[in-house]
Chains A and B, each alone.
Chain A
């Protein structure tokens, strides 16, 4: 079966994988920019409890008082104009745009990926919903029987205010950084998941199955709590390009893995290249818990994202496995943070980046071992692949270790796509594009093999598109 056939087959069940229904019609109009009046209106329209409204207002003050990050790509960060952004949740009907307005490049990529018609329009923001499907309901029934809560964050707040109140902003306080503060003030959408003790959720939960929510909102807010001994795999995003005219996306994702629980959070994002993708992701791993961030970043103009895990209980384990692809005009500034706050905790960071043309990727990482956290082990591997003479890669690793009894390994490699590799493959009949693609696919293989099959196939196909016409 050719790749194209595989892809075609892959897409047959796409419609059934989407299950949006029952539109919520937020008829909100607000001017651009954010102030207390806007925050008040967002909260009132959603009918939120007073405590959440108070959190929003307080977070707005924090946002206004915090400076922009003084590190990272200052030039690109300087382009963000907070006054020129809509902060309210737009009604879906008004968000829809004309298919004719969708850029040609995006349409072409849909074609090549074989994205079905209905889905294209959704991804491009032309339509917001699909017919609901039986599949969705059966999955939902299974989850309900197990006591798993899986809904959009707004519904989570409405239906389970106690759980939300207990954890919201506890992992990532609004004052953590300017963008987390902004998200806390203006959040809308995102997922809320609670898995009861001892429950293993067999199928990966995907954002696609949520109802009534923006799949990928500007300020989405996700909270996942895995209670003792439970396990869950959550997948967000998709490999098809996500066209958005909103230029700023500042999501916050909080994970709580209670003792011996297990959370894997897989993200594949491929924003259109006008987007600033500034995301704060952090997990708390309690005793014996395991948290894994699997994070793939393609697209966007500037991504700044450093999934973090606080290993706060003895024997907890954390992993961050990420790839970034920076093509023309893009800067992927990604990495990881591991805080070893308890004895015998272990962690692993594998970060891979590909920079092509004048694309730029940075690895920014922090590994911290706090006093008293004896017997910890950590392993960091950064691998950068440069394609072409103008591509750029930087590494900013920080190690802060307050204990002696610790095993720390760090490896960083920057390699150029080697002529000798290309010649070897060409001497076996692969043309230059095939050879280059094979080297790149090999490079990201350790990441791809962690993905569910359909995502792996899509990601490989997408990398193939990104690599087309590249000059080595």
Chain B
């Protein structure tokens, strides 16, 4: 009965360009990336600062600032031409490195709208309250969060917890987490890691973007990718992360490719 789990996310020859504000020229930042994540798998994409990791994450979610070529498949369906909200409704989730504040919008109001969008139906207040309370307990988030304004005046750790909470509630098919571990103290890191492990159930694939080894003490990856200068330069098992920890990135660096840029 051990079927191979389905591929929940894949991209093929993905190229991402941004228009340079000075020259008006399109500048390619991601130069042809292939990835495939199966249900139940946790992948980690590691790379030095400025390698284009966040650009890749935002482009996969459909950020309008980027021009994307190549294929993006969510649960087998092409989504590269869909706006961000359609990707989200079909089960793609992006945990932000810097979650954006929306003053005046209570967390509960926002979450209820997001949940309704994902499930395609209004969520009755009682049902919503119950579900939310359970998720809050699980992530050790105080109940007064519900009435606070979305990410407004939140500490870095609070923002990250709320990102994880959203992931748990929205039950994505594929979750992209962009540096969700950065800026966390050790307790918060534990909570966030537990959340990631909980969300990465048998039906969900996770791609965790980071440049720190330390979260991997809590989240055991199935596959590690090394991302440099807009390319995946190496993929391997968990041992690859340890090797990076010991040796740094330079031994993997190719001769600087022409046109390769900073992100």
Contacts and interface: CB of A to CB of B under 8 A. Distances in A.
A438 B100 CA distance: 13
Task: Determine which residue in B85, B118, B150 has the highest number of CB atoms from chain A within 10 A of its CB, and name it.
Answer: B85
Given A427-B61, A429-B118, A445 B104 contact: yes
A14 interface: no
Nearest to B87: A427
Contacts of A418: 100
A432 B85 CA distance: 8
A130 to B, nearest CB: 34
B166 A441 contact: no
B84 interface: yes
A423 B63 contact: yes
Chain B: interface secondary structure? mixed
Contacts of B105: 438-439, 441-442, 445
A383 B109 CA distance: 22
Interface string B129-158: 000000000000000000001100000000
Looking at chain B, what size class is its interface with the partner chain? 20 to 34
A443 B89 CA distance: 26
Given A419-B64, A444-B104, A427 B122 contact: no
Given A431-B85, A432-B83, A443 B104 contact: yes
Interface string A410-454: 000000001111011111111110110011011111100000000
A429 B117 contact: yes
Given A429-B85, A429-B117, A439 B170 contact: no
A444 B102 CA distance: 12
Contacts of B114: 428-430
Interface string B225-259: 00000000000000000000000000000000000
A423 B100 CA distance: 9
B88 interface: yes
B99 interface: yes
Contact of B102 (A2, A438, A446): A438
Contacts of B62: 426-427
A352 B64 CA distance: 29
A442 B88 CA distance: 22
B113 interface: yes
Interface string B159-170: 000000010001
B96 interface: yes
B94 interface: yes
Nearest to A440: B104
A84 B85 CA distance: 52
Nearest to A429: B117
A437 to B, nearest CB: 10
B110 A428 contact: yes
Given A421-B102, A439-B102, A430 B117 contact: yes
Contacts of B122: 2
Contacts of A2: 122
B102 A428 contact: no
A148 B251 CA distance: 86
Interface residues of A, number: 25
Contacts of B65: 419
Contacts of B101: 421
A423 B113 contact: no
Task: Determine which residue in A421, A424, A429 has the highest number of CB atoms from chain B within 10 A of its CB, and name it.
Answer: A429
Contact of B96 (A424, A438, A439, A441): A424
Contacts of A432: 83, 85
Interface in B73-100: 83-85, 87-89, 93-94, 96, 99-100
Contacts of B88: 426-429
B100 A442 contact: no
B103 interface: yes
A418 B61 CA distance: 17
B50 to A, nearest CB: 20
A442 B104 contact: yes
A426 B83 contact: yes
Interface in B14-62: 58, 61-62
Contacts of A427: 61-62, 84-85, 87-88, 93-94, 96
A270 to B, nearest CB: 21
A428 B110 CA distance: 9
A426 B94 CA distance: 11
A430 B102 contact: no
B106 to A, nearest CB: 8
Given A428-B166, A429-B88, A430-B85, A442 B64 contact: no
B99 A424 contact: yes
A420 B94 CA distance: 13
A434 B89 CA distance: 14
A438 B113 contact: yes
Given A425-B110, A428-B113, A439-B105, 6 more contacts: A2-B122, A418-B100, A424-B96, A428-B110, A439-B102, A445-B149
Interface of B: 58, 61-65, 83-85, 87-89, 93-94, 96, 99-105, 109-110, 113-114, 117-118, 122, 149-150, 166, 170
The 7 closest A-B pairs by CB, nearest first: A429-B117, A442-B104, A445-B104, A442-B105, A428-B114, A429-B88, A424-B100
